[in-house]
Chain A
Amino acid sequence: MRSIIFILGWIMLVLAVLMLLPIATSAVYEETEGLAFAVVAFLSAICGVLLIRTKPATVKFYAKEGLACTALGWIVLSLVGAVPFTLSGEIPSYLDAVFETVSGFTTTGASILRSVEQMSHTTNMWRCFTHWIGGMGILVFLLAVLPMVGGSNMQLMKAESPGPSVGKLVPKVRFTAQLLYGLYVALTILMILLLIAGRMPLYDAICTACGTAGTGGFGIYNDSCASFSPYLQWVITIFMILFGVNFNVYYLIFLRKFRDALRCEELHWYLGIILMAGLLIFRNIAGRFETVEQGLRTVFFQVATIITTTGFSTVDFDLWPTFSKTIIILLMFIGACAGSTGGGTKVSRIAIIGKSFFSYIRSFLHPRAVRKIKFEGKEVETETLRAIFVYYTGVFLIVAVSVLLVSLDGFNFETSFSAVAATFNNIGPGFGMAGPASNYADFSKLSKCVMIFDMLAGRLEVFPVILLLYPRFWREVGMEIYTRRMRSGRGYMDRRRLHNSK
């Protein structure tokens, strides 16, 4: 338990450091909002340092602690990260601020703001920057910078990184995390440069690149990306797709193993799905565009933004015919590749359950045939397979209950369902009231809470958040603390109480 508190301390300290960016922004634009950030950063840093001082002898994480630490870490991150919004008065309701922050860190991009253009540069920078942090993950960042000797901290990375089976790139967790962040920073900088080359102002370029890199989707204009030039839209489309690719591929490219990189099976599925979905939608709505280029650009921008779960938009796809909208809903659940910054349920999981489905059907023809399911040229371990099925059960349960609760607001089914789908899969815009042209401001407080939960559950892939809601977990935590107090002799009062109750 003390390991968790120690990590939470570091999270608060890192958060304080990260807030220097909006503070710097406010200095550049001479805005007063920076003050709120400075106050929060200062307090957060103090809390962080105090918590770090409780450092246990060994920082060790088993599966249980890893999951709980990740979930708690993200909750702390969101609660603290939301304070400046309310403090500066730009988002008066703290619940709304939390919604906005969670939406930022989980790279959802769903906003309760009716007009982002009225926001200060400082606030907008922080909104976009939360995407960038949340994209690769705060714990992965901690693992990269913290020299934590002894034991394995793989559990932390496993709990935070998306995908059915999280592996390392190099033997040590720390260097793996450093490599991931290195690749992430490099790609982000490349994108900023390309955006600037398209005559985008620096501030806009940084915000847009952060939003794209984390596959987040907070825009800084009310119409998201619709007013950008065709060049910029293409750049954003391509980078959205790039950030939705498994980062292992980039590592292989970095090692100059191009053939291995191209052989990645998940990549084939991913690009195949994008191409298929794009062409189907294009066929469905081709008549609406003046030129083929405009049609392809618009269609692929929306397909990329949905499948990578970014959530930018250049057109109100709520107005598209039902066939196209259904494809979009399906893409929402597929999501990006495992090991990317995107959300959704991940291409590799879809591919594996697809394969196991057909393998099961085949077993009716040849009941005794031995047939293992293979993915990426390797057998899928039974344990992985089981985890995937349990994961989908969890997804189904959460989505079902969430839709039920959100439907209390009385909006139509399309709105309720797509709002849950768009938040759970960390996309942002859904359909109807939650569509690209509107926002989440009109949902009730209960619905907002439900969606905050959905966003966290979706980003952390269900299990860490569910664990926190599992009563038995807390009972065991309580038991552990109690036993330790008794052993250390500090539990005198406890023992007396126990004695009296006998």
Chain B
Amino acid sequence: MPEKRRLPTLHIIIVGCGKVGITLVEQLSREGHDITVLDINENVVRNVTELYDVMGITGSGVHMQVLREAGLETADIVISVTGSDEINLLCCTIAKKVGKSLVSIARVRNPEYIEELPYLRQQLGIAMIINPDLEAAREIGRIISRPQARSVNAFAKGHAELVRFTIPMGNVLDGKQILTLDRFFSFGYILCAIERNGEVYIPKGTDSLKAGDDITIMAASRDVNKIFTAIGMRTGSLKSCMIIGGGKTSYYLARQLLDQRMDVRIIESDPKRCDELDALLPGATIINGNGSDEQLLKEEGIDAVEAFIALTGIDEENILMTLYAKRIQGLKTITKINRITFNDVIDDLDLGSVVYPKYICAEEITAYVRARRNSIGSNVETLYHMFDNRVEAIEFHIEKGSPVIGIPLMRLKKKDQLLIACINRNGRILFPRGQDTIEAGDGMIVITKHKGFGDASDILL
């Protein structure tokens, strides 16, 4: 048994315990960091400290004294995710002035700052500025460019993609054994996970697929479209969409989609906001009205668009509207969920693609923290949570002397519920077979139901 490397523990201060703050606390505390949480609301702080093993301090993130009490001098990372951009920026600036070696991460969401962000980042010495609305819009954009998929994640610096989609009724894959899939796909790929009736499996060759299964396949980016062609699903991006709600995410998304020459219709209930959007997005059709009005949706041509994107601030409305839109054959639906935590129920609802801005934002930050930790010992490069955190896809950098090097994969004593999905060798994506070996310098992508891996050797029994 190779000696396990002990991962360094980072001292992280999280300012602001909103949706993103809590999600961050949950993810980072599970990874074993020392976390101190700051919020001005004492009730929120009490809640967090009761749920998670973290220290809570009531106070403002821009007060020197409060920050010192939270241990600013010894902190490695300060993450400011309060509701106010200005507080976040100020907090990070102060933190940076005190602790020269710490890194600070701020959430800034006001579109007015977006042009200044690179300048602000440089001048204020902030390591990372994250905009959850923009990130959510980008994710939605990725989904629209691969409309068959429910979600798309990039690995190996974009060389490989992890696509998740549902097998439609009557598809060629229905009832096929996994071993026989090679007949359809003439390129490298690997089937990573199957979700059936709310359970997630890491598949074995003898398992067979069924219509309605949610499957996750990893392939090189250029081959992803071939997957869909091979199994007879249409490819190519969409031409028109309807967006409900005219918030920040809608704005970023519309801008992106308009650039791709898509036909964009936005339904927004606030007339003032409609005027603003009209000025900001010259190419889009802005409709003033209530998206939960069935007549209006019909009138504005819900039957005629290819994608329906529910982005209002009220989750319940988004879900209902999507369920309505789902009744139209072939309509691609995307739902944004901000707040609701009943993930299992939402999964069961068959909403099509669901986007959680808080997870996207927290995931980005967590990935940064991992990279930070990486520089002190761990060699995780990317990590994605799939199926509501039940499965992790991790990209490891293999260093010299790692115990996994040089052993044919079929003889590697791996843990259960774990799959070596692919190997990134100098930008080439390999889908390994039993005789292949892992070499130093490779990037190894592992799919697993285990949690908290920090080193490539963790995959061994």
A residues bordering B, Cβ < 8 Å? 62-63, 150-155, 167-168, 170-175, 381, 383
Asked if residues A154 and B42 are in contact (CB atoms below 8 Å), the reply is no
In the A-B complex, the 9 residue pairs with the closest CB atoms = A171-B55, A171-B34, A152-B53, A168-B55, A171-B35, A171-B54, A171-B36, A173-B53, A381-B42
Determine if B113 is an interface residue (Cβ-Cβ < 8 Å). Answer: no
For chain B, what secondary structure do more than half of its interface residues adopt (helix, strand, loop), or is it mixed? mixed
| Residue in contact with A153 in the complex, picked from B36, B53, B54, CB distance below 8 Å | B53
B343 → A minimal CB distance (Å):
18
Asked if residues A151 and B53 are in contact (CB atoms below 8 Å), the reply is yes
A174 → B minimal CB distance (Å):
8
Asked if residues A152 and B55 are in contact (CB atoms below 8 Å), the reply is no
With A170-B55, A171-B11, A171-B55 as known contacts, state yes or no: A155 contacts B35, CB within 8 Å.
no
B residues bordering A, Cβ < 8 Å? 11, 30, 34-36, 42, 46, 49-55, 58
A171 — which chain B residues lie within 8 A by C-beta?
11, 34-36, 53-55
26 examples of A-B residue contacts, CB within 8 angstroms: A62-B50, A63-B50, A150-B30, A151-B51, A152-B49, A152-B51, A152-B53, A152-B54, A154-B49, A154-B50, A167-B55, A168-B49, A168-B55, A170-B34, A170-B55, A171-B11, A171-B36, A171-B55, A172-B53, A173-B53, A174-B53, A175-B34, A381-B42, A381-B58, A383-B42, A383-B46
A168 — which chain B residues lie within 8 A by C-beta?
49, 55
List the B residue with the shortest CB-CB distance to A158.
B50
List the A residue with the shortest CB-CB distance to B30.
A150
List the A residue with the shortest CB-CB distance to B54.
A171
* A153 CA / B29 CA spacing, docked (Å): 14
A173 — which chain B residues lie within 8 A by C-beta?
53
* A150 CA / B31 CA spacing, docked (Å): 10
Given A151-B52, A383-B42, 6 more contacts at CB 8 Å?
Answer: A62-B50, A152-B50, A152-B52, A154-B49, A170-B55, A171-B36
B52 — which chain A residues lie within 8 A by C-beta?
151-152
* A490 CA / B329 CA spacing, docked (Å): 46
B49 — which chain A residues lie within 8 A by C-beta?
152, 154, 168
B55 — which chain A residues lie within 8 A by C-beta?
167-168, 170-171
Asked if residues B34 and A155 are in contact (CB atoms below 8 Å), the reply is no
A154 — which chain B residues lie within 8 A by C-beta?
49-50, 53
List the B residue with the shortest CB-CB distance to A167.
B55
B11 — which chain A residues lie within 8 A by C-beta?
171
List the A residue with the shortest CB-CB distance to B65.
A377
* A171 CA / B57 CA spacing, docked (Å): 10
* A152 CA / B51 CA spacing, docked (Å): 6
B22 → A minimal CB distance (Å):
13
* A173 CA / B58 CA spacing, docked (Å): 18
List the A residue with the shortest CB-CB distance to B55.
A171
B30 — which chain A residues lie within 8 A by C-beta?
150
* A370 CA / B53 CA spacing, docked (Å): 35
A167 — which chain B residues lie within 8 A by C-beta?
55
Asked if residues A172 and B42 are in contact (CB atoms below 8 Å), the reply is no
* A170 CA / B33 CA spacing, docked (Å): 12
Most buried by B among A155, A172, A173, A175: A172
List the A residue with the shortest CB-CB distance to B51.
A152
B53 — which chain A residues lie within 8 A by C-beta?
151-154, 171-174
A152 — which chain B residues lie within 8 A by C-beta?
49-54
Most buried by A among B34, B53, B55: B53
A142 → B minimal CB distance (Å):
15
* A102 CA / B35 CA spacing, docked (Å): 38
A46 → B minimal CB distance (Å):
31
* A155 CA / B50 CA spacing, docked (Å): 7
* A79 CA / B39 CA spacing, docked (Å): 44
B36 — which chain A residues lie within 8 A by C-beta?
171
List the B residue with the shortest CB-CB distance to A61.
B50
* A167 CA / B58 CA spacing, docked (Å): 12
A197 → B minimal CB distance (Å):
37
A421 → B minimal CB distance (Å):
33
* A154 CA / B55 CA spacing, docked (Å): 10
A170 — which chain B residues lie within 8 A by C-beta?
34, 55
* A139 CA / B304 CA spacing, docked (Å): 65
A153 — which chain B residues lie within 8 A by C-beta?
53
A301 → B minimal CB distance (Å):
37
A425 → B minimal CB distance (Å):
29
* A173 CA / B11 CA spacing, docked (Å): 14
* A62 CA / B51 CA spacing, docked (Å): 8
List the A residue with the shortest CB-CB distance to B42.
A381
A25 → B minimal CB distance (Å):
38
* A48 CA / B227 CA spacing, docked (Å): 57
B204 → A minimal CB distance (Å):
25
List the B residue with the shortest CB-CB distance to A168.
B55
B13 → A minimal CB distance (Å):
10
B84 → A minimal CB distance (Å):
22
B50 — which chain A residues lie within 8 A by C-beta?
62-63, 152, 154-155
* A152 CA / B47 CA spacing, docked (Å): 11
* A162 CA / B51 CA spacing, docked (Å): 21
B42 — which chain A residues lie within 8 A by C-beta?
381, 383
* A381 CA / B56 CA spacing, docked (Å): 14
B430 → A minimal CB distance (Å):
35
* A174 CA / B9 CA spacing, docked (Å): 14
* A63 CA / B49 CA spacing, docked (Å): 12
B193 → A minimal CB distance (Å):
23
* A63 CA / B51 CA spacing, docked (Å): 11
List the A residue with the shortest CB-CB distance to B57.
A167
* A381 CA / B59 CA spacing, docked (Å): 12
* A300 CA / B51 CA spacing, docked (Å): 45
* A168 CA / B35 CA spacing, docked (Å): 12
* A236 CA / B54 CA spacing, docked (Å): 37
A62 — which chain B residues lie within 8 A by C-beta?
50
* A189 CA / B36 CA spacing, docked (Å): 32
A150 — which chain B residues lie within 8 A by C-beta?
30
A246 → B minimal CB distance (Å):
16
A178 → B minimal CB distance (Å):
13
A172 — which chain B residues lie within 8 A by C-beta?
34, 53
B37 → A minimal CB distance (Å):
9
* A18 CA / B51 CA spacing, docked (Å): 32
List the A residue with the shortest CB-CB distance to B13.
A171
* A174 CA / B34 CA spacing, docked (Å): 11
* A167 CA / B30 CA spacing, docked (Å): 21
B35 — which chain A residues lie within 8 A by C-beta?
171
A462 → B minimal CB distance (Å):
20
A348 → B minimal CB distance (Å):
17
* A151 CA / B52 CA spacing, docked (Å): 5
* A173 CA / B30 CA spacing, docked (Å): 14
B105 → A minimal CB distance (Å):
18
A381 → B minimal CB distance (Å):
5
A381 — which chain B residues lie within 8 A by C-beta?
42, 58
* A153 CA / B54 CA spacing, docked (Å): 10
B460 → A minimal CB distance (Å):
20
A139 → B minimal CB distance (Å):
15
A378 → B minimal CB distance (Å):
8
A110 → B minimal CB distance (Å):
35
* A174 CA / B54 CA spacing, docked (Å): 11
B38 → A minimal CB distance (Å):
12
* A62 CA / B42 CA spacing, docked (Å): 18
List the A residue with the shortest CB-CB distance to B33.
A171
B277 → A minimal CB distance (Å):
43
Most buried by B among A63, A155, A173: A173
* A472 CA / B438 CA spacing, docked (Å): 61
* A170 CA / B30 CA spacing, docked (Å): 17
* A153 CA / B50 CA spacing, docked (Å): 8
* A390 CA / B36 CA spacing, docked (Å): 30
* A462 CA / B383 CA spacing, docked (Å): 47
B65 → A minimal CB distance (Å):
9
List the A residue with the shortest CB-CB distance to B11.
A171
Most buried by A among B42, B46, B52, B55: B55
B26 → A minimal CB distance (Å):
11
